[in-house]
Amino acid sequence: MPEKTTRFEIIKSLEEDKISRALFNENWNIIDNAVTSTADYNTHVQSDIHITEVERSAWNDKETIVGAQNKANRVIIDSNDYTSNSVSNVIKSEADDIVVNPQNNYGKIELEEALQAHFLTAHQGKQSIADAINDVDVVNKNADPNDSFLQLSTKITRIRKFFSTRKLEEYSYEYAPTDTVFVTLHPHTGYTQMVVLCHDRYACINNTGLYVIDANGNVQGSKTLNKPISVTKDSDGYLYVFEQGTRILYQFDQQLIQQWAILFSSSDVYAVAHDNQKGYLYIAGNDIIEKIAQLDGGTIWTYALDDVFKGQVVDMDTDGMDNVYVVVVDNTNTQLGKVKTDGNDNPELEWFQDDSFAKGSSIVVDGEKGYFYYGNENGALYKKDLNNQEQWVRSYAGAIRSIQVSKDQYVTFVNNVQNVYKLNAEGEQIYVHVYNTPDPGSILSLYLDDESYVHTLHHNKIVKTSGMYRFLA
């Protein structure tokens, strides 16, 4: 049998075979079927089923999974190093001449970061302190995290706290005459004004100074002053004394340690009013009213009285909403007015009343309830709302002095025939207490404390009275 080639199986002829045309053509057919034409070759080369040597080399360099992970890890390390080096370069380039420690020159960035961290910590701490103060101080509630630590510490010492009490309606009671709790005989004479301190202690002034005396008349402290003519007390217990001889207003604590002193621009001080909730003090002279800060005596604003009012201020009070109510008297008549403060701390007159029938003598404002009480020399006592609308009027013998109002709207006042009256919110008389003293008109000053005890200053004694109610159960 003839042999065939291994690849294309072309028929080989043996030596003894004769080559036929048919065999010859068959072999050419085999070759024609086995080989590729030039056109087909070119088409094959130009197709994408094969890659070039360059592409093959590039393909061989493709990353394995392990290699790719190693390179990713390297990228992280390199980027961290780059970032750290970049930040270091920035810090170095921004470093200034601030030296925190002789061995360490910290740049602005480190310092700002440290200060920012400390600021946040300090602010959070002050926020906690302010919240704690406001939780306890139910009267003022004026602590703020933006206060300095010195201001917060001062407000801690000035916390006022109410204690739980039963309402009067929960008891059985009857009205009863007042009872004298004690009489204090003080060794000094000539006292003109008095305020009540804690634990039945009193701060009094006379022509030579300021004195603190106890319930037994013992002098516990004194401060020599040049003709003091006014003494008042704020809700935190600080005393304010105006010295006529020098026109200086002092703030003292109850140990008579001076806190600050300011020179008043007017010739004299005729009235002082306290806004205890907001920490302001209003001072009235013969021609101006000044609003100052109780904390340091700094002036907030000044209002010129002589633009509208003519005469001398005899009394003044505030409603706790930056409004001042003032009574001004001249030789013939009285002017009553309200000076309000706008949102920019600018004072302006809201309303004004000219009363030519009697000289005004005393005023007190109950800002929480929205009323004020005004008395005159003819013995008339008015209750009005804060827009000067009359609610009621009561008449008594003698000029009305030293009006006081309690939290339950009971009104206490004294007239110049040495009687102390107490009225309810409707103007109904609850009691009148007659002081049996040898000299008529001897009540120089009246003070109503937080427990509604009445303290009166006389020429040579202080009397504390109570007894508005006699409790039956």
Tens digit of pLDDT for each residue in 283-335? 998 788 999 998 888 999 999 988 788 888 889 999 998 899 999 988 767 88
For residue 22, tell me if it sits in a domain: no
- Which of 98, 127, 157 is the endpoint of a domain? 157
Residues 152 and 199 placed together within one structural domain of the fold: no
Q: Which two tokens stand for residue 334?
A: 């009285």
User: Tokens 């109850």 appear where?
Assistant: 254
Determine the pLDDT at residue 73. 65
Residue 471: which residues within 8 A CB-CB, separation 6 or more? Answer: 171, 172, 173
Say how far apart CA 180 and CA 177 lie, in whole Å.
10
Residues 145 and 209 placed together within one structural domain of the fold: no
For residue 76, tell me if it sits in a domain: no
Residues 300 and 449 placed together within one structural domain of the fold: yes
Bridge partners (DSSP) listed for residue 434: 419
Instruction: Give first-to-last CA distance, the chain, whole Å.
Output: 145
For residue 353, tell me if it sits in a domain: yes
| AA identity, residue 123 | H
Residues 121 and 225 placed together within one structural domain of the fold: no
Residues 114 and 192 placed together within one structural domain of the fold: no
User: Sign of the CA dihedral 136, 138, 139, 145?
Assistant: positive
Say how far apart CA 72 and CA 84 lie, in whole Å.
19
Taking only the tens place, the pLDDT of each residue in 126-174 is 788 888 877 766 556 678 888 887 777 777 766 654 433 344 344 444 4
For residue 19, tell me if it sits in a domain: no
Determine the pLDDT at residue 265. 74
Say how far apart CA 192 and CA 221 lie, in whole Å.
17
For residue 410, tell me if it sits in a domain: yes
Shortest CA distance to 458 belongs to which of 440, 443, 446? 443
For residue 282, tell me if it sits in a domain: yes
- Which of 157, 187, 222 is the endpoint of a domain? 157
Residues 273 and 148 placed together within one structural domain of the fold: no
Residues 213 and 338 placed together within one structural domain of the fold: yes
Residues 153 and 188 placed together within one structural domain of the fold: no
Residues 132 and 201 placed together within one structural domain of the fold: no
For residue 116, tell me if it sits in a domain: yes
For residue 31, tell me if it sits in a domain: no
Residues 128 and 195 placed together within one structural domain of the fold: no
Question: What pTM was computed for the model?
Answer: 0.61
Expressed as residue numbers, the domain containing 136 is: 108-157
Residues 196 and 282 placed together within one structural domain of the fold: yes
pLDDT of 241 strictly over 60? yes
Element (H, E) at 296: none
Residue 304: which residues within 8 A CB-CB, separation 6 or more? Answer: 287, 288
Total domains present in the chain = 2
- Residue 185's CB is within 10 A of a number of other CB atoms, namely 10
Residues 116 and 230 placed together within one structural domain of the fold: no
Q: Which two tokens stand for residue 472?
A: 């039956």
